[in-house]
A and B are shown apart, each in its own frame.
Chain A
Amino acid sequence: MKFVDEFRDADTARSVAARIAALCEPGRRYAFMEVCGGHTHTIYKHGLEDHLPESVRLVHGPGCPVCVLPMGRVDDAIAIAQEPDVIMTAFGDMMRVPGGDGSFFDAKAAGADIRMVYSPLDALKIARNHPDKHVVFMAIGFETTAPSTAMTVLRAAREGIENFSIFCNHVTIIPAIKAILDSPDLRLDGFLGPGHVSTVIGCRPYEFIAARHGKPLVTAGFEPLDILQSVHQLMLQLHEGRCEVENQYSRVVPWNGNRRALEVIGEVMELRPYFEWRGLGFISQSAMQMRAEYARFDAERIFRVPGVRVADPKACQCGEVLKGVLEPWECKVFGTACTPETPIGTCMVSSEGACAAYYNFGRFSRERVRAGGTTMLADPVVRR
């Protein structure tokens, strides 16, 4: 398929991989974090790590908006959904995320009216069609999705729609990266920057990472060759002794971001003093809430939410996995107590989480497959 196949070509991948391998210094190990969950998904879905030399490791970061949502916020949303005459709307990947007492799916089965939508505008449409109900949109995501939430609020205001509100859980990427950079056990050589977020915020906000923390960053696209090429750019910087912010995804990401999108966010939302991230704890100025001028669209002001914090079980080691200190399989509960059906920690929640991606796509012994030379590496039985 056009615009897809050319970014997934195995021969090109092999030649980029060879160039990466040529840049590896003997005895040195490299660890790069992809910040965005979309990258994690691509890496596993295409088996990208098979192309990387043994000494280059990708660490899967905190950039999955579903994963980082604390359980207490899910409980709050369910409490709103259970109010009389409320229709709760959410993206599909929110449906299975567990709170302290079950997920949206469970609440829906127990009678709450919770509907899957593909865009906040769909939620607004439901509000228009059901004037006797109050429709709440469960807003999640980084700067990528915040503009569409903000645009929807502005449209609702313009149309004078009164039975619509937002349960705002939008978060911002820079404070999360800062939290990781400040971690004492950080062992990273560089970052793959989040491509989708960067279409909105641009590449300039990352400059402090190179300048003050001495880690190069390459903003990367979401096809497997984008990621492989970005790894090559990082390796090249290390090899040449440079430490810069580069933009691999320039076909989509403008260096200065999208000014209009940022304005729209700023008009409708403001920073919260602090917000809890699953696996990372409280981070100051890391999330957004509705401005007072739009209080009539703010579900947190319209409804009474319990606001109870739900602690992650002690056995959960998501924090260490997110910072790259542990591999997913090294966590004590991985794959037994904590699975995609019963995710205990943030990394197992959505397919963009590091543990879920490893469980769903990577749960086999590469060493055994390579060493054993089992039939899987042989050609198919019948040639086409």
Chain B
Amino acid sequence: MTRTGNGRATTVHAGWAEEAVATHAGAEHLRTEEQVLERIERARRRRPRVREERITLAHGAGGKATHTLIEAVFVEAFRNPVLEQLEDGASLEVGGARLAFTTDSYVVSPLFFPGGDIGDLAVNGTVNDLAMCGARPLHLSAGFILEEGFPVADLRRIADSMARAAAAAGVQIVTGDTKVVPRGKADGCFITTAGVGVLERPLALSATAARPGDAVIVSGPLGDHGITIMLARGELDIEADLSSDTAALHELTAGLLDAGGDGVRVLRDATRGGVATILNEIAAASQVAVVVDEASVPVREVVTGAAELLGIDPLYVACEGRLVAVVDASRAEAVMAALRAHPLGDGAAVIGHVADDPPGLVLLRTAFGGTRIVDMLVGDPLPRIC
């Protein structure tokens, strides 16, 4: 047994910190806050670099670390004009047809939760990515990674739920793959789905398309899915009457596009990282400011309560059946009417608008009457929610 107090004889230096300081050394000494803010924005626009030597859970959280990883590893390796747009899915032209193509993996824990399971999540998630491209979803693939010992009854339950979700979304699962790994090498069941849809509308939806004056709309209350999963894990001893919002949004999207036409600029589903992350992506890609009015952001009381207890902001909590739309202000009322006419959009709300300044930032007008930034998420409040 060794007793070591806090009186430390030796002093060392943190290599990584000294290196970070050295990287930015020689910067002119700035006098005003404005100059400092500009320097920070310049630093933030630099090409991201992965600092870590190993993957941490933060790389999967959908926030800053995920973006850095995607840009510095995947975009760097696979570079092409379609991928570089970094939309929810790829829009392609094949033999005269305009198609949307996307893929997504599901590792949610627990596999079954109030309002759904990994099966309908895997179908709805990919259907939604296609819908957000403005496409009509057609065909899906499904790949399963199963852990040795996983109950067949559970797999049947998951497959049934996928079949129901596919039928409801009007898509067919037309191809698939199965792998089994030894016990301990996976957690029960992981699913990867890919999907193809057809682009029938002459639209160019893109995160780069937001313009000052546009309205920012969400299709319903935020955070139901993420908080449901968190509570379903039973680690918190909190009980709440809440279920996941997982749903296929293709019909809602079709109605929205009928009403909004070419006034619809951006569509995104607010999954990992929540609405805050989506709005940051839009602000950065379009070089505009997004201004959110906190009092008009729809959040259920149970979600607000759980988020308060956990110290989480509902703006960052994942949804699996909610979309964010940026639309021309003149079409906003028509779009709102179309959303509210559909059961999945009856809680829709205009939560803010696009402004020209300060570009690249999301600002929140708080219900308390102040203003603050809503930044990209750093770190991971809720791992493995989808």
Contact A337 B305 (CB under 8 A): no
In Å, the complex CA distance between A375 and B329 comes to: 13
Return chain A residues, CB-CB under 8 Å to B355: 374-376
Given contacts A302-B1, A362-B372, A376-B371, contact A311 B289 (CB under 8 A): no
What does DSSP make chain B's interface, helix, strand, loop or mixed? mixed
Contact B367 A363 (CB under 8 A): no
Instruction: Mark each residue of chain A from 109 to 131: 1 if its CB lies under 8 Å from any CB of chain B, else 0.
Output: 11000000010001000000000
Instruction: Among A4, A368, A375, point to the contact of B291 (Cβ < 8 A).
Output: A375
B366 contacts partner chain A, Cβ-Cβ < 8 Å: yes
Contact A368 B358 (CB under 8 A): yes
Which of A18-26, A96-104, A190-198 contacts its partner? A96-104
Return chain B residues, CB-CB under 8 Å to A110: 54
Return chain B residues, CB-CB under 8 Å to A98: 14, 16-17
Instruction: Among A310, A327, A365, point to the contact of B37 (Cβ < 8 A).
Output: A365
Contact B11 A310 (CB under 8 A): yes
Return chain A residues, CB-CB under 8 Å to B23: 337
Q: Which of B228-252 contact A (CB under 8 A)?
A: 235-236
Given contacts A311-B11, A332-B29, contact A381 B3 (CB under 8 A): no
Contact B378 A341 (CB under 8 A): yes
Contact B353 A375 (CB under 8 A): yes
Contact A305 B350 (CB under 8 A): no
Closest to A276 in B: B6
B33 contacts partner chain A, Cβ-Cβ < 8 Å: yes
Q: Give the distance to chain A from B22, nearest Cβ to Cβ, in Å.
A: 8
The CB with the most chain A CB atoms within 10 A, among B2, B6, B213, B375, is that of B6
A266 contacts partner chain B, Cβ-Cβ < 8 Å: no
Closest to A8 in B: B368
Return chain A residues, CB-CB under 8 Å to B235: 118, 122
Return chain B residues, CB-CB under 8 Å to A329: 33, 36-37
B143 contacts partner chain A, Cβ-Cβ < 8 Å: no
Return chain A residues, CB-CB under 8 Å to B29: 332
Q: Which of B205-259 contact A (CB under 8 A)?
A: 212-215, 235-236
Contact B8 A337 (CB under 8 A): no
Q: Which of B3-29 contact A (CB under 8 A)?
A: 3-8, 10-18, 20-21, 23-24, 27, 29
Q: Give the distance to chain A from B226, nearest Cβ to Cβ, in Å.
A: 15
Which of B57-65, B77-85, B149-157, B181-189 contacts its partner? B57-65
Contact A344 B17 (CB under 8 A): yes
B349 contacts partner chain A, Cβ-Cβ < 8 Å: yes
A280 contacts partner chain B, Cβ-Cβ < 8 Å: no
Q: Give the distance to chain B from A317, nearest Cβ to Cβ, in Å.
A: 12
In Å, the complex CA distance between A340 and B4 comes to: 31
In Å, the complex CA distance between A224 and B65 comes to: 31
Q: Give the distance to chain B from A16, nearest Cβ to Cβ, in Å.
A: 11
Closest to B367 in A: A8
B379 contacts partner chain A, Cβ-Cβ < 8 Å: yes
In Å, the complex CA distance between A10 and B295 comes to: 10
A372 contacts partner chain B, Cβ-Cβ < 8 Å: yes
Q: Which of B364-385 contact A (CB under 8 A)?
A: 364-373, 375, 378-379, 381
Instruction: Given contact pairs A46-B370, A309-B8, enumerate 6 new A-B contacts (beta carbons under 8 Å).
Output: A47-B365, A315-B21, A333-B21, A337-B20, A337-B24, A341-B51
Q: Which residues of B contact A (CB under 8 A)?
A: 1-8, 10-18, 20-21, 23-24, 27, 29, 33-34, 36-37, 39-40, 43, 51-58, 64-65, 212-215, 235-236, 289, 291, 293, 296, 301, 304-305, 308, 329, 332-333, 336, 349-350, 352-353, 355-358, 361, 363-373, 375, 378-379, 381
List the 10 shortest-distance A-B pairs measured between CB atoms, nearest first.
A47-B370, A309-B8, A335-B40, A307-B4, A10-B369, A375-B355, A50-B370, A46-B368, A109-B54, A361-B372
- 5 CB-based A-B contacts, threshold 8 Å: A310-B14, A311-B14, A337-B21, A365-B37, A374-B356
